[in-house]
Amino acid sequence: MDDLGFFRELFTGLNRGLLMSIMLIIPSALGGLVIGITAGALRAFGNAAVVRIGDGYAALFRGTPLVVQLFVLYFGLPNVGIYLSPYWAAVTAFVLCSGAYQSEYVRGALLSIKRNQYLGAQALGFTRLQTIFWVIIPQAMRRALPGCGNEIIYLIKYSSLAYIVTFMELTGEGKTIATEYFRFTEVFLVIGFYYLILVSVAKIILRKTEKALEVPGFGSA
Amino acid sequence: MSRSEPILKVENITKSFGTAHILKGVDLELPKGGIKILIGPSGGGKSTLLQCLNCLVTPDSGTIWFNGSVVDIQKSKELYAFRQQVGMIFQDFNLFDHLTALDNIIIALCKVKKKNKQQAKERAMVELEQVGLSDKGHLYPAELSGGQKQRVAIARALAMDPKVLLLDEPTSALDPELVGEVVAVIRSLAQKGMTMIMATHQISLIRNLADEILFMKDGLIAEQGTPRELLGAGVCTLSQGFCDKLNEITGEEI
């Protein structure tokens, strides 16, 4: 039975790819958040030089296609003697790209906190750092969460670009099988379904986080 | 008038924003236990003066003495320590929106006064009790009425054991029927001998609480004196005229 062999190979391949995708997505999402929060905070509160560097970073990585960033990291860097494995090239590109977008959400959220929250804290004797850490960030975090979650959902999908630097994740595995059997429609429908499941799981986790942090009358709900 | 060494004294405070000269050299002495009330038209500099007193707005020039010694506002450590001892109540409360009423008080005690969580909680409960909100500690600011928010803000300020309380129109953002509960709390503070300086349009507070009324206009103190001197029968002062106008609006007797 031709079909049976096809489906066996398809699901074995896709499951292997799924695992690779997850190994790509989780560190990229976390790294992107860390970079995004750091860059966002520096862009919101840093001095003029720091703000300019932060803005430049965001402009560069939001302004160029991710494919170009991947190519430069994987095919370009060897020219200057830096060799990244397909996996690390992909993770680096995703972290930097995702971080640039995250920094935008974080910066916006930090700047949206009203001046009276600073005044209230300062009048009590909070230092500037204490104010930012205990009053501004906890509030900004809640404001930024929907945007940051959205970016993670994007990341799950653009992680499929890793296959063009030869990292065999979900899409890469699928494409190989599709080419081998010349059955593109079925294969890509199934791949789409896999991503749908990944995104749904991420959405549930994000919802739960938002619920856990929910404060009456504050930001999203 | 001067019963003792002033606890807070400022000299020649000036402040400009761009080309707008908001404060043009204000002197002020606040004796321990004294209550001074700032009145005057909007834009006269009352809020800015209050915010200069604890340097939420940095004055362009002038000197601040607290408890007999000059506060060096350039040294942030000294400034933070000074602010801890000068409580401030704002027109729009400035409670931390992400924390419950109780946690609003606890966080200041824990982070600024470095108390442990248990001590902070006990103290916060005492202060909430004082303002009659011991059953509302678990509610977030968005779940409280304006009057309740302002009482939480007062409890939060008092928990820091301030030597002086600055009140910037504490009842102006409240619905008329909620003013009374906040006024009652402020009155009881006055009875306990809290040193206060307050900007307000609340006639009952001006008339009954003030040791001294300061009428501010165009960045200067235009008139100062006891309520009797400025608002007594038959006197013709700026303050009297101003309070008459407030009366026309509120219909309150003075």
CATH number at residue A7: 1.10.3720.10
User: ipTM for the complex?
Assistant: 0.89
d(CA A67, CA B149): 53
A117 part of contact set with chain B, CB < 8 Å: yes
Give the largest Cα separation in chain A, rounded: 78
* Optimal mutation site among B51, B80, B97, B143, interface A, most CBs of chain A within 10 A: B97
In this predicted structure, the answer to whether residue B1 has a pLDDT above a threshold of 70 is no
Give the confidence band of B34 by pLDDT, cuts at 50, 70, 90.
Answer: very high
User: The domain containing residue A22 runs over which residues?
Assistant: 2-213
Q: What is the CATH number of domain B6-95+164-250?
A: 3.40.50.300
Contact residues, chain A, for B87 at CB < 8 Å: 123-124
B81, B94, B143 ranked by CB distance to A217: nearest: B143
Contact residues, chain B, for A117 at CB < 8 Å: 94, 96-97
**Within-domain flag for A220:** no
A216 part of contact set with chain B, CB < 8 Å: yes
The answer to whether B43 and B247 have CB atoms below 8 angstroms apart is: no
Identify any residues that bridge with A96 across adjacent strands, giving them in sequence order: none
A188 part of contact set with chain B, CB < 8 Å: no
- Under DSSP, the state recorded for B174 is S
In a 3-state reduction of DSSP, which class is residue B8? strand
> How many contacts, defined by CB atoms under 8 Å, are there between A and B?
77
Going by their DSSP bridges, the two strands B35-39 and B20-31 should be labelled as unpaired
Summarised one tens digit per residue, pLDDT across range A84-135 is 999 999 999 999 999 999 999 999 999 999 999 999 999 999 999 899 999 9
Summarised one tens digit per residue, pLDDT across range B49-59 is 999 999 999 99
List the Cα angle A196/A172/A58 in 5-degree steps: 70
CB contact under 8 A, A215 and B98: yes
Summarised one tens digit per residue, pLDDT across range A23-65 is 999 999 999 999 999 999 999 998 999 999 999 999 999 999 9
Contact residues, chain A, for B97 at CB < 8 Å: 117, 139, 215, 217-218
In this predicted structure, the answer to whether residue A203 has a pLDDT above a threshold of 60 is yes
Task: Match 């489906």 to its residue by tokens.
Answer: A7
The number of distinct structural domains making up chain A is 1
d(CA A40, CA A46): 10
